[in-house]
Amino acid sequence: MLFKQQALLRQKLFVLGSLAIGSLLYLVARVGSLDRLQPLCPIDGRFGPRGQDEIPLRALQFKRGLLHEFRKGNATKEQIRLHNLVQQIPKAIIIGVRKGGTRALLEMLNLHPAVVKASQEIHFFDNDENYAKGIEWYRKKMPFSYPHQITIEKSPAYFITEEVPERIYKMNSSIKLLIIVREPTTRAISDYTQVLEGKERKNKTYYKFEKLAIDPNTCEVNTKYKAVRTSIYTKHLERWLKYFPIEQFHIVDGDRLITEPLPELQLVEKFLNLPPRISQYNLYFNATRGFYCLRFNIVFNKCLAGSKGRIHPEVDTSVITKLRKFFHPFNQKFYQITGRTFNWP
């Protein structure tokens, strides 16, 4: 009898012990699970009013692949609806300057999980035929995005085209405008180099830079040459200032973006009211290319097209000196208007 009672007691103790250990293991697992699920901190950079459709920036980072499929046209209307995706008018536009680094800037900003870029130049505001198609046509050219992301497009011809400021103003008078500039003479030579490469591919001849940049009759700078005119930044900016206050512009240093991109990108994040997300991890120097490349995550890296960083032809030093002297007063005025000074000669 005593033996049976002892056996029964041991059995009960075993059951109770098992339950206690099981409960303890459950609690440990549960706490660990909650710790993994609990966000470290709330996202402080929302876009628009709070609501149930808000998407944390960290979540957006994991949905790039999905957005990429939608950009390729592989999404059904039902998928688009379920994921709450939209095609939005840009909240910011890179309006120029040609050969200033507009593509590099756009690709680098796309590192931010709250930014979605238009892959191609739309040329809506500078092309009369496209503009006549209307704002809905323009919106349909934009990539799919989540409601609280910022869509950005770039068309560098916008900066120098007379009709564009008024057209953009009519669409959105509070839009944010990005201008990326390089030292004016270097930019003009880069502009020439791109055109020269296109001519050579077609086996066509082309004038030397010196003959285009300098008027042979007066031996002065040829202001009718488009590459020279584009580099007179202040003349174009003054036309934009008839419609937009200077506070709606941000000037990006294109030369610094090449050698030291992160500080420039952090300034743009601040201008666009984005929480800081682009870090040095996202940018690595490619010694072979001589440029910084982009790292989105541990598996997806991207370098700019091989056409970037073309070797410039040698230009007569006297012509370079003449151009720099010509641009100097315009540069000084540009510094004064924008409040940003560059170490341009």
User: Mind telling me the catalytic residues?
Assistant: 99
> Is there a binding annotation on residue 311?
yes
Q: Which two tokens stand for residue 123?
A: 């040329």
Strand order in 150-154's β-sheet? 115-117, 150-154, 92-96, 176-181, 249-253
> Is there a binding annotation on residue 190?
yes
Backbone angles phi, psi at 105, to 5 degrees: -65, -45
Q: How far apart are CA 115 and CA 140, in angstroms?
A: 17
3-class secondary-structure state, position 302: strand
> Is there a binding annotation on residue 322?
no
If one counts every other C-beta atom within 10 angstroms of the C-beta of residue 186, the result is 19
Q: How far apart are CA 295 and CA 282, in angstroms?
A: 4
> Is there a binding annotation on residue 198?
no
Q: How far apart are CA 192 and CA 209, in angstroms?
A: 7
> Is there a binding annotation on residue 103?
yes
Q: Please, is 317 exposed, middle or buried when counting C-beta atoms within 10 Å of its C-beta (0-12, 13-18, 19+)? A: exposed
Residue at 91: amino acid letter: K
Q: What's the first-to-final CA gap in the chain, in angstroms?
A: 106
Q: How far apart are CA 244 and CA 227, in angstroms?
A: 25
Angle at 106 between CA 104 and CA 107, to 5 degrees: 65
Radius of gyration of the chain (CA): 28
Residue at 166: amino acid letter: E
> Is there a binding annotation on residue 23?
no
Q: How far apart are CA 149 and CA 302, in angstroms?
A: 21
> Is there a binding annotation on residue 298?
no
Strand partners, 284: 293
> Is there a binding annotation on residue 321?
no
> Is there a binding annotation on residue 310?
yes
Task: Please give the annotated binding residues, written as ranges.
Answer: 99-103, 182, 190, 292, 308-312
Q: Which residues are annotated as a binding site for 3'-phosphoadenylyl sulfate?
A: 99-103, 182, 190, 292, 308-312
